[in-house]
Structure 1
Amino acid sequence: MRTAGYLAWRYGAAPGLDYRVVTVERGGELVGLAFGRPRRRGPLAEFTLAELIVRPGDRAAAAGLLRAAAASGCDHAATHLAPGTEAAAAGLRAGCVTAPRTGMVLAARTPSGPLPAQRTLADWRFSLGDLEVF
């Protein structure tokens, strides 16, 4: 769960990073919120979409956020959409493609040692904001 304090720390106070907020409203009510930042990827302008937040099951809001990110004046948008989320389902339906493996490996330990053996990758729901180091 992302709290307002966490989001302010992660995206509002990130040193040297120009995060932007993308929103989707329905009937005057905020139904989706995303954080991302423009960056250069060689000669291309990329919008790195770090976090999408929608109500459970609201694929329309997730799709709206993906469309807004893609229309942000960039050549392409890049993100990590955790499998099984509304954002991932909306991305697949919108024609987003999965890039080939890039070689990133995630290693995790708890303060008390290795993760329990019964934990699998399916137990994790990372956003790109969780994986991006600043």
Structure 2
Amino acid sequence: MMSDMTDYYGQDSATFGDRMAAAREAADMTQAQLARRLGVKKSTIASWEEDLAEPRANRLQMLAGMLNVSIMWLITGEGPGMDMASEDDDLGRDMTTLLAELRELRTQLQASTGRVAKLEKAVRRRMEAEA
């Protein structure tokens, strides 16, 4: 019998993928939503959660921030994990979510800017060819 829920996600009972999946679910995100926010494919998130692969350091840092857990907890099960969230942390979690959404929008805007530039170039070429 487990004494509490944190034991289940501790270093002796769970893997990186188990802790990641639990933290993602606690953050009320789907694999697809997390993938979009991190800028990776959904299959990448699935492979991390199934312990078939692990994220690189830069993604790990972003992942921990988005899931509101420490990097150490994700890797080892030690340190501030899912139980670190309290009413005082609600603002922090909301800010993390907002930051993730802002990053996602910035990425989308950068991609759109590139497409606009290509279209503009194509229109100019066509106009020059017709002139």
Same fold (TM over 0.5): no
Shorter chain as normaliser: what TM range? under 0.3
Larger strand proportion of the pair: 1
TM-score (norm 2): 0.25
Larger helix proportion of the pair: 2
Return the structure number with greater relative CO, CA threshold 8 A, min gap 6: 2
TM-score (norm 1): 0.25
